[in-house]
Structure 1
Amino acid sequence: MAADTAPRRRFGGGDLNGLLGLVVDNLSLLAFMATALVGIFGMPADIVFRRMFPGTALGVLLGNLAYTWMARRLAARTGREDVTAMPLGIDAPTSIGMALLVLGPAFVGYRQAGLDDLAAGEATWRLGMASLVVMGLLKFVLSFFGAWVQRSVPRAGLLGSIAGIALVLMGFLPLVEIMRVPVVGFAGLGVVLYGLVAKRRLPFGMPGVLGAFLVGVALYYGLGPLGLLGTGYHAPAAWQWRLGFPWPTLGFVQGLPATVPYLPLILPFGLLMVVGGINVTESARAAGDDYRTRDILLVEALATLVAGICGGVAQTTPYIGQPAYKAMGARTGYTLATGLIIGLGGVFGYLSNLVELLPVAVLAPILVFVSIGITTQAFEATPLRYAGAVVFSFFPAIARMLAIKLGDPSIVDPAHFAALYADTSHGIAPLAVIVILGNGFIITSMVWASFVVAMIDGHVRKAAGIVALGAVLTAFGLIHSVEPIGSVYLPWQLAPAAQALVWPFVAAYGALAVVLLLLSLSRSRTA
């Protein structure tokens, strides 16, 4: 009988290792989001901790419960006791992107429009909910067409675009936070690199993530009270029970109109998670656990959708590395325990206390490692001949990062950018080009990598078609929006000065498409 073949051991030493790694990964992302929204953009903490966190944590709970059940069902069906559940948690690239590129700038924009902090925070929360619902619906639909998505977009385009996010947003920006308290952050980063990149064994077989976490906490709370960290140390806030029940709400409906300017970011975020889900399912299958791809994608989509309806603002995803959890001996207990710890923590508020106790310098090294892993995978999982396409796809993400660090157009006085756009004495001003190039950077990265891949494969006419598609996307602001906040538009409704910026970019794509069509007429061979 099936009950006799199901695994009897529900939680073991391997599950403990998996639990520590998965919980710390989720905590680090929640901490970064809270630091960005509260510390950088000034959003009220109660909005983040009582409204955004509970719904987001609910998605983690539901997804992990479903994956645990799927693993135990697979174990019962196959009679194996070594089945490892698919790990699920908050997605790193898109959560950081949502905080830095959507929610934070939107909050500042609402305040500039005259709303007080509380009203601006509420409006931003509704925007976040609506964004998550849009992503959840997109993932739900695409979960039935996963194979088509994989065939339509080259792997270099998909992995290159997400690697660009990883490199500059998940890697560089957290590295800046590490070096703001270098004694703590750099030591923790070194432990992460030792245990997870160099793959050296830590004392007592301790997981690399846990080792870095303990070293960072020990240094921060050991040296900080002695004044040896300077202004980098802040005494922990008093413990608070921030109860927040993730009840379903129609607040996302009010936020839907506000998502329109951010669709060039939101839609690719959902698409990337579908492809990521396909890839991690294949990875688990190669490790011996044959999950049905559509089931994995549907769970991910529904967890995201329910989280958005219940107030969440960060989507969930199955994590890369199921074979690694399997190798450390984790089975099904670690996902069940992670879901309960994170889910209940969002409800009873202890997640917010943990986030406040753990400075970003302690948690950021984990994000840097994830950045390294994702960027490395973009090259390892892509044939070597496409490496140039992957690298080429990084440039739009770099432009977006520069726009953030040099003065995000969503935050800086619009008159500043109006002056930049007006300076055309030697062509379009360089900083204006950076802003325009960075707007819609995820889709831009996909387009750029895809047409380079087509050229490498000798499909020059296909490359011309992809470039022509880029011209259409540019015309409507889905990529290279000339609006400082990156919103989409109908080009003929723009002011003459803005149209004067749109059409040169459209013409650039058009000219390249024509050149490629002419080149396709010649019978050229690879050098």
Structure 2
Amino acid sequence: MTSSTGRLPHFVRADFNGFLGLLVDNLSVMAFLATALIGIFGFPAELVYTRMFPGTTLGILLGNLAYTAMARRVAKRTGNRKTTAMPLGVDTPTTIGMALLVLGPAFLSYKQSGMDEHAAAIATWQLGTASLVVMGLLKTVLSFFGAMVQRHVPRAGLLGSIAGIALVLMGFLPLVEIMKMPVVGFAGLGVVLYALVARGRMPWNMPGVFVAFLVGLLLYEGLGPLGWLGHGYHPIGAWQWRFALPWPTLQWVQGLPLTIPYLSLILPFGLLMVVGGINVTESARAAGDDYNTRDILLVEALATLVAGFCGGVAQTTPYIGQPAFRAMGARTGYTLITGIVVGLGGIFGYLSNLVEVLPLAVLAPILVFVAISITTQAFEATPLRHAAAVVFSFFPAIARMVAIKLGDPSYVAPDHFAALYNDTSQGISELAVINVLGNGFIITSMIWASFVVAMIEGKTRQSAWIALLGGALTLFGVIHSVVPAGNLYLPWMLAPGLRSIAFQFAGAYLAVAAVLWLFSFGRGGQGEAHA
């Protein structure tokens, strides 16, 4: 603990660095939401920018204001002037899922049913707001049980699952975007690594994130018109002011019946945010900031509810990069600035303009740094003997990343995907294995790391019980869902081929549990040698 004298400052110089990093995080996710809905599914752009964006960004505003106040309270209570606020923004995995698995397909389905485009878009928006309210209510209830999970899941399970997400979804996928325009993106990444990893000094002590952003943008605008960036360059168009207040609306009430076919996706999305919130609170605690798990979860649940009530379609979450922002030197001011800038950006329209004009290659380098910081912390904050458990927990996230790419129609045509998925000529198909392994990957990673830690600690019977829990969750699709979209189900309701896969995966956990149970007798019948 660092002793405190004098008044706690509202802002420090490094808060600007943190602000840029958190702003880029949110811009990247919002850009994906807009690109997917407008570019892939043909959704009306004006509805995205004037209905969906304002409500979503209002949740970001309120959540970051609450986290700022929470951090200042913790700093005053502990005397630690280096307390870093928990960052909050639009959640990446579930926003991707909402766009590609719920909103986009629903829009196409409504149009195919005979609705005109405008009516189909309004119905899709109502579905999105109702989905957010459902997830917010679920998270509000579950927020009171977060600390209990934190007490019973080892740190390797909590941090390993988050590090897996960071490595492949926040690190590798943005790296792909960087290398699509390598001259621009890699130069920006080099600046980020020099300034934030190697702790090199920037000219005139400017924040490293700002310099990286500036370098990328100058290269983009300087080389693009010369044709040196190929077809990746698109001139920045005219600025469009879009003013839209996120007033509370009852559109979500009309959308509630529309959520029924999608509940098997919507409910796990909410559950994953609770698990993720627990993990990031543990991540912050490992970095030196002791936040109350219930309070962190409750704030983001209420922010999600407000966003849904006001027309938003993407849920908020505490970001997994708190240690990275702490490493930048950010304290409590960066979340305040981000909340205001993003919240007002949704109202006045400049956020949608930034999403339209800035290439991901300019925005992505900071995401790679955050991924590096989180993955590094997973090893530094857990006992060295648990490192194997942390590594083992990465594999489901890798499978999820591969499944996302293979499920993209631009890579594999839907009919070809179905044929490959259902091919049983040589047992379970490789495509099915990858998809099933990746479904529910956050919870899978926690289970895998937990039962390996229990084995390492000599708690062999406890390890067997954890494996049995994994098998039970597998039967109902909470993890390893055999349905490509990741739906929950009752196993006896599945088609015979999918039911066979579900039983084989569940049987795998049963077999591991049985073997571990037998091994426990070799430890003198205790199985708890190091308890």
Pairwise TM-score range, normalised by the shorter structure = 0.7 to 0.9
Find out whether 1:267 has 2:271 as its counterpart. Answer: yes
Shift in alpha-carbon separation, 1:10–1:51, aligned structure 2, 3 A: same
Shift in alpha-carbon separation, 1:55–1:235, aligned structure 2, 3 A: same
Tell whether the 8 Å contact from 1:58 to 1:246 is kept in structure 2 after alignment. Answer: yes
Distance 2:455 2:501 in 1: 28
Counterpart of 1:375 in structure 2 is 375
Find out whether 1:317 has 2:313 as its counterpart. Answer: no
Cα deviation, residue 115, structure 1: 2.4
Match 2:256 to one of 241, 250, 253: 253
Between stretches 240-249 and 118-127, larger displacement belongs to 118-127
Match 1:97 to one of 93, 99, 108: 93
Cα deviation, residue 360, structure 1: 0.6
Matched to 1:209, the amino acid is V
Distance 1:454 1:216 in 2: 46
For 1:41-120, list aligned pairs within 5 A: 42-70=42-70, 82=81, 86-90=85-89, 95-110=91-106, 113=109, 115=111
Q: Secondary structure at the match of 2:241?
A: coil
Distance 1:74 1:486 in 2: 39
Cα deviation, residue 184, structure 1: 0.6
Distance 2:380 2:127 in 1: 36
Cα deviation, residue 214, structure 1: 0.4
Matched to 1:98, the amino acid is T
For 1:378-457, list aligned pairs within 5 A: 378-408=378-408, 415-457=415-457
Shift in alpha-carbon separation, 1:133–1:10, aligned structure 2, 3 A: same
Distance 1:297 1:513 in 2: 33
Q: Secondary structure at the match of 1:522?
A: helix
For 1:82-161, list aligned pairs within 5 A: 82=81, 86-90=85-89, 95-110=91-106, 113=109, 115=111, 121-122=121-122, 124-161=124-161
Cα deviation, residue 519, structure 1: 1.3
The Cα RMSD (Å) is 3.2
Between stretches 183-192 and 17-26, larger displacement belongs to 17-26
Cα deviation, residue 346, structure 1: 0.7
Shift in alpha-carbon separation, 1:131–1:110, aligned structure 2, 3 A: closer
Counterpart of 2:488 in structure 1 is 488
Distance 2:373 2:431 in 1: 31
Tell whether the 8 Å contact from 2:19 to 2:337 is kept in structure 1 after alignment. Answer: yes
Number of equivalent positions: 513
TM norm structure 2: 0.86
Distance 2:207 2:24 in 1: 11
Matched to 2:89, the amino acid is I
Find out whether 1:219 has 2:215 as its counterpart. Answer: no
Between stretches 22-31 and 462-471, larger displacement belongs to 22-31
Distance 2:327 2:167 in 1: 27
Tell whether the 8 Å contact from 1:41 to 1:108 is kept in structure 2 after alignment. Answer: yes
For 1:230-249, list aligned pairs within 5 A: 230-249=230-249
Once the two structures are superposed, residues 91-148 of structure 1 have per-residue CA deviations (whole angstroms, 9 ceiling, x without a partner) of 5xxx221233332232443355352665565455445434443443344334434431
Once the two structures are superposed, residues 268-292 of structure 1 have per-residue CA deviations (whole angstroms, 9 ceiling, x without a partner) of 2222113313542564547xxxx65
Q: Secondary structure at the match of 1:521?
A: helix
**Where in structure 1 are there 5+ consecutive unaligned residues?**
none
Matched to 1:260, the amino acid is L
Distance 1:81 1:276 in 2: 20
TM norm structure 1: 0.87
Distance 2:381 2:188 in 1: 28
Cα deviation, residue 220, structure 1: 0.6
Counterpart of 1:276 in structure 2 is 280
**Where in structure 2 are there 5+ consecutive unaligned residues?**
none
Distance 2:121 2:489 in 1: 26
Matched to 1:315, the amino acid is T
Counterpart of 1:191 in structure 2 is 191
Cα deviation, residue 348, structure 1: 1.1
Matched to 1:244, the amino acid is A
Distance 1:254 1:481 in 2: 24
Once the two structures are superposed, residues 50-74 of structure 1 have per-residue CA deviations (whole angstroms, 9 ceiling, x without a partner) of 2222122112211233344445667
Cα deviation, residue 505, structure 1: 1.7
Cα deviation, residue 218, structure 1: 0.4
Cα deviation, residue 299, structure 1: 2.7
Matched to 2:357, the amino acid is L
Counterpart of 2:176 in structure 1 is 176
Distance 1:501 1:319 in 2: 33
Counterpart of 2:478 in structure 1 is 478
Tell whether the 8 Å contact from 2:241 to 2:350 is kept in structure 1 after alignment. Answer: yes
Tell whether the 8 Å contact from 1:300 to 1:318 is kept in structure 2 after alignment. Answer: no
Shift in alpha-carbon separation, 1:218–1:8, aligned structure 2, 3 A: same
Shift in alpha-carbon separation, 1:410–1:501, aligned structure 2, 3 A: farther
Cα deviation, residue 303, structure 1: 2.0
Tell whether the 8 Å contact from 2:38 to 2:44 is kept in structure 1 after alignment. Answer: yes
Find out whether 1:355 has 2:351 as its counterpart. Answer: no
Cα deviation, residue 27, structure 1: 2.8
Tell whether the 8 Å contact from 1:86 to 1:318 is kept in structure 2 after alignment. Answer: no
Shift in alpha-carbon separation, 1:457–1:409, aligned structure 2, 3 A: farther
Shift in alpha-carbon separation, 1:482–1:18, aligned structure 2, 3 A: closer
Tell whether the 8 Å contact from 2:272 to 2:442 is kept in structure 1 after alignment. Answer: yes
Tell whether the 8 Å contact from 2:130 to 2:259 is kept in structure 1 after alignment. Answer: yes
Tell whether the 8 Å contact from 1:399 to 1:437 is kept in structure 2 after alignment. Answer: yes
Tell whether the 8 Å contact from 1:71 to 1:86 is kept in structure 2 after alignment. Answer: yes
Tell whether the 8 Å contact from 2:56 to 2:315 is kept in structure 1 after alignment. Answer: yes
